[in-house]
Amino acid sequence: MKRTPNNFIALKNIAGSYVGTTLPISKATFPVPFYEGLTYSPPARGGWNIVHIGLTLPQAHLIFVCPEGCLRGVVLSAAELGVPERFSTIAVGEDNILSGDIEDQIITGVSHIIDKLPKRPPAVLVYTSCIHQFLGIDIDMVYDALRADNPDIDFTDCYMFPIMRKSGPNPVEMMRRQLYSLLTPIPKNSRAVNIIGSDLPLPKSSDLYQLLAANNFELHEIGSCQDYQAYKQMAASSFNITILPSAIKAGELLAEKLQQTHIYLPMSFNYAEIDASFQRLSQLLGITYQRNDELIAKAERALAQTKALVGNMPIAIDYTAGPRPLSLTRMLLEHGFNVTDIYVDSFQVEEEADLAIIQKIAPNLKLHPTIDVGMRAISRQRPTETLAIGQKAAYFSGATHFVNIIEGGGLFGVDAVYQMAKLIAAAYQTPQDTEALIQVKALNWGCECNL
């Protein structure tokens, strides 16, 4: 199964059939093993939502226009990060729906908020919601009016449309895309590369970073932009790299709008797959790439040391830790680790080969959904202490030894294998307050968390 622009919607609508809380991996269907009925929301909040992603745009002001119930989560996301001054709201009420003044409400409300800000921002992200879609508002007219009234401000359309998640981009995919919609054509730099759609900057230790630096490429990421002008300069890059599946739409947008070449390099813990990604990237950039056996040996030594440390301790992994839980599981199993449980509701298409391998080498490994109603009441006590990778795995397994990582933590390449080995060792050595840590949104990213 491959990911293509044409099967984007179809992949979202594949339904699973198994109803229950535990399934031997040997019986799992790909890519969706579990039936999705009513859903439960486990209390692991480290993932980034559309507020956090929007706030990565330097100096931008965010304005959400939604019914009050929808505003609650987003306004408190910003407040918990300690940046309420970058965030405003307009509540859609029943009277707005009945009177049909929704467009006017947005135009006058946004302008009113801008007038009250202590300083005019260079960019404003205006988020509309499901209700605007269903009422068929003239969104183009709204933005035309806002731009005409505020020519010194860049506006872009952002969306909180969870209802569209099966029929279009989900809110995070859409937000990662719209985050770059304010880039406009400027002269290109053939030696500049962007990594787009990742929440955290690529570590300098990454072999991807090293490869680009060694070949004199500038690397730009929104997370390291100091101001709005630095963000705008990302339009000068000739290439965009995406690592997370939810960033692919952003790459497609910029390929069309700015003619930046897009390459999707799936995160992986498999050396051959990592090697293939670097080969593709090198061909695209016109550079020479040599597999770094020294780096692999370093990663192998780290894995061996960690294995010696944790021994046969059960390990549980969940999908929030990164886009490739099966790739990680397979790598750990192949290095002798005792992975016993995976918490995942569906698999990314890149995981198909990993699933087939794991079904052969560990057929009794247990799969669990995270949102099934039965997960609300399962026991979170284990007879043996478990080491978890990911917040949901930590919650469901009652683990205090856990790797607190979200969406891959910005890791990529062979360095990701090495870093993960180190993170597992650290988790084994130091128990943590799971309840306190996993309830903090966005891993307390970049701000002074108020919790």
Contact residues for other proteins, defined by CB under 8 A: 19, 36-41, 43, 45, 67-73, 75-76, 79-80, 84-85, 87-97, 105, 108-109, 112-113, 116-117, 129-131, 134-135, 160, 162-168, 373-374, 376-377, 435, 439, 441, 450-451
Residue 322 to residues 241, 246, 364, Cα–Cα distance (Å): 17, 12, 23
Q: How far is the CB of 94 from other proteins (least distance, A)?
A: 5
**Cα-atom radius of gyration of the chain, to the nearest Å?**
22
Place of tokens 């039936």: 35
Beta strand residue intervals within 251-312, DSSP E? 261-264
Least Å distance between CB 101 and other proteins? 11
Q: Which is nearer to other proteins, 112 or 147 (CB)?
A: 112
Our CB check for other proteins shows the closer of 94 and 294 to be 94
CB of 405 to other proteins, least distance (A): 20
Q: Residue for token digits 């622009």?
A: 5
**Cβ of residue 95: shortest distance to other proteins, in angstroms?**
8
Sign of CA dihedral 195, 200, 201, 203: negative
Minimum CB separation of residue 46 from other proteins in Å reads 11
Judged by beta carbon, residue 199 or residue 207, the one nearer other proteins is 199
CB-based contact 208:192 (threshold 8 Å) = no
Q: Considering only CA atoms, which of 93, 57, 89, 58 is closest in space to residue 72?
A: 89
Element (H, E) at 73: helix 68-80
Q: Which is nearer to other proteins, 80 or 173 (CB)?
A: 80
Q: Which is nearer to other proteins, 91 or 313 (CB)?
A: 91
Cβ at position 349, least distance to other proteins in Å: 21
* Nearest CB to other proteins, comparing residues 101 and 138: 101
Residue 232 to residue 187: CA distance in whole angstroms? 12
Kindly tell me which of 67 and 203 has the beta carbon lying closer to other proteins: 67
Secondary structure class of 219 (helix, strand, coil): strand
Provide the minimum distance between the beta carbon of 159 and other proteins in the complex, in angstroms, as a whole number.
12
DSSP state of 166: T
Is residue 390 within 8 Å of residue 250, measured between CB atoms?
A: no
**Beta carbons of 214 and 195 less than 8 angstroms apart:** no
Whichever of 27 and 376 has its CB closer to other proteins, that residue is 376
Residue 404: CB atoms within 10 Å: 21
Q: What is the 3-state secondary structure (H, E, C) of 306-332?
A: HHHHHCCCCEEEEHHHCCCHHHHHHHH
- Give ∠ CA 146-194-63 in degrees, rounded to 5: 25
C-beta closer to other proteins: residue 429 or 450: 450
Tokens of 258: 């700015």
Provide the 8-state DSSP code for 27: G
Q: Pseudo-torsion of CA 6, 285, 272, 298, nearest 10°?
A: -140
- Report the residue number, 76 or 349, with the smaller CB distance to other proteins: 76
Q: Is the peptide bond before 314 cis (omega within 30 degrees of 0)?
A: no
Nearer to other proteins, 80 or 350 (CB): 80
In the complex, minimum distance from the CB of residue 90 to other proteins, in angstroms, rounded to a whole number: 5
CA distances from 25 to 29, 192, 290, 304, 408 (A): 9, 43, 36, 26, 22
Nearest-approach distance from CB 326 to other proteins, in angstroms = 24
In angstroms, what is the minimal distance from the CB of 12 to other proteins? 10
CB of 166 to other proteins, least distance (A): 5
Phi/psi at 124 (nearest 5 deg)? Answer: -130, 125
